[in-house]
Amino acid sequence: MAKFVAIFVCLVILETGWALKCKMCKDATCSMLEDQTCQASTSTSEAACLTHIYKANENAKENTIEKSCVNRAKDGKYDCIKHKKEEVEITCDTCVEDFCNEKSGADKISLASLAVVSVIALIAPKFL
């Protein structure tokens, strides 16, 4: 059993280290999302998931939502790109956990969390 848990943990670490997974808007209203795999384009940048919410102008009634992969500086800085001069930015957030730009992402149990719980369950009896 211990070998199985160790192999599982190694596979999870390898899987999470290869590429970041984000959600991307599939339609103009961002009501439908699809998975997108992200990779950093340079050694000075890192892949990140973007959630950009803005209004087309000050008088716009509805917000526009943009979700996708982006490359941000390794220090976490990213400046959202304005599509129009009169655009009003509401929020521009990036994050680096799988599917962190999905609304219900906090409800999901990741494989990494499952691996940690497995290791704790394996080690705990030795200390009790």
Question: What are the 10-residue block averages of pLDDT along the chain, 128 residues in total?
Answer: 57 61 91 93 91 93 94 93 91 95 54 48 64
pLDDT of residue 43: 87
pLDDT of residue 111: 45
Residues 6+ apart with CB under 8 A from 84: 56, 57
DSSP assignment of 81-108 equals PPSSTT-EEEEEEEE-STTTTSGGGGGS
pLDDT of residue 92: 95
In the chain, domain spans? 2-127
Closest CA to 32 of 65, 61, 54: 65
Q: What is the chain's Cα-based Rg?
A: 19
Joined together, the tokens standing for residue 62 give 């509805």
Residues 6+ apart with CB under 8 A from 17: none
Q: How far apart are CA 4 and CA 50, in angstroms?
A: 36
Q: How far apart are CA 68 and CA 33, in angstroms?
A: 10
Q: Does the pTM of the predicted model rise above 0.75? A: no
